[in-house]
Structure 1
Amino acid sequence: MILRFLLAFFVLINFPILSQNKSIWTFKTNNRVYSSPVIENNRIYIGSGDHYLYAINKNTGNLVWKYKTKGAVHSTPFISNNLICFSSADGNLYGVNKNNGNLVWKFESKGEKMYDLWDYYLSSPTGNTETVYWGCADGNLYAIENKTGKLQWKFKTNGVVHASPVLYKEQVYIGSFDGYVYALGKDNGQLLWKFKTVGDEYFPNGEIQKGLLVKDDVVYFGSRDYNMYAINSKTGTLLWNLKEKSGWIIAIPTEHKGTLYFGTSDAHLFYAVDKKTGIVKWTAPLQMRVYGSGVVHNNTIYFGSFDGKIIGLNCDTGERNYEFQTESSKKNYSLMYNEKGHFKKGFELYGDDFEATEKLIHSLGSILSTPIIENNRIYFGSSDGTIYTVKL
């Protein structure tokens, strides 16, 4: 991830000291957790890099059941009736009984792969009671019969599809690493329109990595070309785009009362943007990347960061009013940061050994998971392999 501007890394950032609530419970898996939790009734469903999908009692943190695949489960599960669907790095989409974890069906793609070192997520399925839609690294968007796991139709893009599809009205929308957003008929996969990102000098494909938000007939999404886009969902016509100077926009934006909220990658900023015009309302400085989406609760937007923190910002002002730090972050923070929250002298975020640096970052318990809030509790996963439940 070569940067055009590094200024954001070297700005001295002073944050207020905030009180931190303790975890109500934690559940330990055996690998990194990038999956986002889904809650239904008294259970949390979430995947892990240890190849398992877990069903956990949301009140106690006790294991209810787990299902093992042959690859990392870095997708967010989708629930329809008694079925829970999720994808694995083994290239399969699984449908299991949500009550007992027994396999109902398995759909095999042409195979999974990572696009690059920063391609952390798999496509997360979505759908309705009849059909499950799912993207894969083989370039296809698949429509699969919910009850049987049989293929209904597929649509081929020209890139890895790790973005999650969105079902909206009669269309299904998908982004691809080829830099296109595709609008397809949900019943037959017929192409209705496609939109190409503008690209950038360093990232000319304008890859779409994680997903889209579709609301009020507008498709919102970020790209590796540093842009946030708004396009008409019916025609694919560009409404506006906002160019970020120095960072990918991976996170799917969160909409609340006419404002889009999203974090950036290398700019280390969090944005509040008018959803109709793309005009920036405020930005807030961060100390690390944000790939996951935020969730709004009591006029605060909560989101996870690669530095192992859940951060809460006032929706109106961007003022930081909440912070939770993982135990891994507390333990290893001084490996990267000095006492002022600045990168330590000699630390290079993009030096000669990218893999070693990413490993060091993940030692902080990076939070790529999008949190979920229920009954004044926030649930999320971390790259330290832990699933957290914290009282707000």
Structure 2
Amino acid sequence: MKIILLLSLFLSTLGCSTLNSGLDKWSSLNSNQREYQVKAAWVRRTTEKDNLGFRKINRMTPVLAGDLVIQGNGLDGLVAYDRKNGQERWRLPIANGAEPSATLIRDRLFVGASDGNFYSIEASTGKVQWTFETKSENLAAPLLDEGIVYFLAGNSVFYALDAVTGRQLWLHSRQDTSVFSIRGGSQAALHNGHLYVGFSDGSLVALNAKTGSTLWETQLNRNKRFRDIDATPVVDGNQIYVAGYDDKLYCISTDKGETLWRVDGGGYSAVTIIGDKMLYPTTQGEVWALNKSNGEKIWSYKLKEGIATQIKTYKGAAVFGESQGSLRFLDLNSGKQLGSFEPGRGILSAPQVDEKAGRIYFISGEANLYAVDAGWIKTPYF
């Protein structure tokens, strides 16, 4: 039986931090007397009780649903808060919590959980519409398209379910003979009726979205240690960008699965494409800006510890969490730091950005949900 290893970032002990440790703002001044200010609007503990046992993994990206922000934790379930003031609106207990990110369509939330079930939930009330038993932990975010929800279970079985009823339409199962695996799973990418999914055996597979039949598959990561393709494939035109954990970043053709180019340096999270470049959080503890046509490096940013989450854009900045550090804001053009925010115990979830409100949401390693405001402010000249 495969032994699931937690990433070193998940097991790191960073010392004690209080809930209020991140409430002090961080700021930086530039020559134009402007200050990039990052400060907490509110913070809430998402667990119903204090976790006095083994540290759990909290990496679900917050979901914005109307006036709610919905957050899952790795201990006891899902909870919804008012986006403006953090007032709790509903709570759904789930044994062992919900670790992966969720997908929202109108008032329906789809998420896999660690209790061996996949859930369809009414987002406004937290009422469960249906459950589907996978008999395995569910560690990957689902994808929804044309009334079908697709997701990869922790036992390397990829499912297609009817989104209304939860009825299974088809599945694709793979046998992974590797002894060790990184904890996580790839969200599928969809393009022109084809699904592209990474598996823990190091393969990238193209499937027919309607039937589940295999169109092509290619073995990317052949390392003997961690072969996982946990990063979500990103499709841009006729190219797919996907990374192996301790391997490389690959550019693959969508039609035949041929490798067009590769860059040494593994990744756990998906790339973020911005115009003619992309941002890549590597497992070497760096963030790279690359030319998306050939993978040439434009700039890099070195983290002090850990690795970066998937990167989001926010008003001309790149924002991401550090697994053993802070929420960071970088200038998109130069990679220079603009500001940061320290929540304690690191950040494993990609942040959720609300540019209109000027707010970013994320869950910390301690399962605290933060709402922070960030942006440039004018400062008095002395």
The answer for the alignment partner of 1:228 in structure 2 is: 249
Q: How does 1:83-232 map to 2 (within 5 A)?
A: 83-112=108-137, 122-159=139-176, 162-200=185-223, 203=225, 206-232=227-253
Q: How does 1:208-357 map to 2 (within 5 A)?
A: 208-244=229-265, 248-265=266-283, 267-326=284-343, 328=344
CA distance in 1, matches of 2:164, 2:105: 10
**CA-CA distance at 1:17 after TM superposition:** 7.4
Matched letter for residue 163 of structure 2? N
1:18-73 alpha-carbon deviations (Å, 9 max, x no partner): 36532101111236521001212211122101221122211111111121222231
Judged with a 3 Å threshold, the aligned counterparts in structure 2 of structure 1 residues 369 and 198 are, in CA distance, closer, same or farther, namely closer
Aligned mate of 1:371, from 348, 351, 358: 351
Alignment check: 8 A CA contact 2:186 2:198 kept: yes
1:155-209 alpha-carbon deviations (Å, 9 max, x no partner): 0123387211222230111111110111111111010111211433x53x63112
**CA-CA distance at 1:143 after TM superposition:** 0.2
**CA-CA distance at 1:322 after TM superposition:** 1.5
Which one has a larger percent strand, Structure 1 or Structure 2? 2
Matched letter for residue 210 of structure 1? A
Q: Does 1:386 align with 2:363?
A: no
Alignment partner of 2:38: what SS? coil
CA distance in 2, matches of 1:93, 1:198: 29
1:240-279 alpha-carbon deviations (Å, 9 max, x no partner): 11002xxx411111111111112222x2211011111011
Alignment check: 8 A CA contact 1:123 1:210 kept: no
**CA-CA distance at 1:129 after TM superposition:** 4.2
Matched letter for residue 254 of structure 1? T
Which one has a larger percent helix, Structure 1 or Structure 2? 1
Q: How does 1:22-101 map to 2 (within 5 A)?
A: 22-30=39-47, 32-101=57-126
CA distance in 2, matches of 1:305, 1:39: 22
CA distance in 1, matches of 2:299, 2:347: 23
Structure 2 gap ranges (5+): 6-25, 29-35, 52-56, 375-382
RMSD, aligned α-carbons: 2.0
Matched letter for residue 154 of structure 1? L
Alignment check: 8 A CA contact 1:94 1:103 kept: yes
1:261-316 alpha-carbon deviations (Å, 9 max, x no partner): 12222x22110111110111111111122252111122211100022301111111
**CA-CA distance at 1:226 after TM superposition:** 2.6
Matched letter for residue 215 of structure 1? D
**Alignment identity in percent?**
23
CA distance in 1, matches of 2:373, 2:102: 24
- TM-score normalized by the length of structure 1: 0.79
- TM-score normalized by the length of structure 2: 0.81
Deviates more, 1:216-225 or 1:155-164: 155-164
Alignment check: 8 A CA contact 2:194 2:208 kept: yes
Structure 1 gap ranges (5+): 2-15, 114-121, 329-364
Matched letter for residue 29 of structure 1? T
Alignment check: 8 A CA contact 2:309 2:323 kept: no
CA distance in 2, matches of 1:17, 1:68: 38
Alignment check: 8 A CA contact 1:305 1:366 kept: yes
CA distance in 1, matches of 2:95, 2:113: 7
Alignment check: 8 A CA contact 2:114 2:137 kept: yes
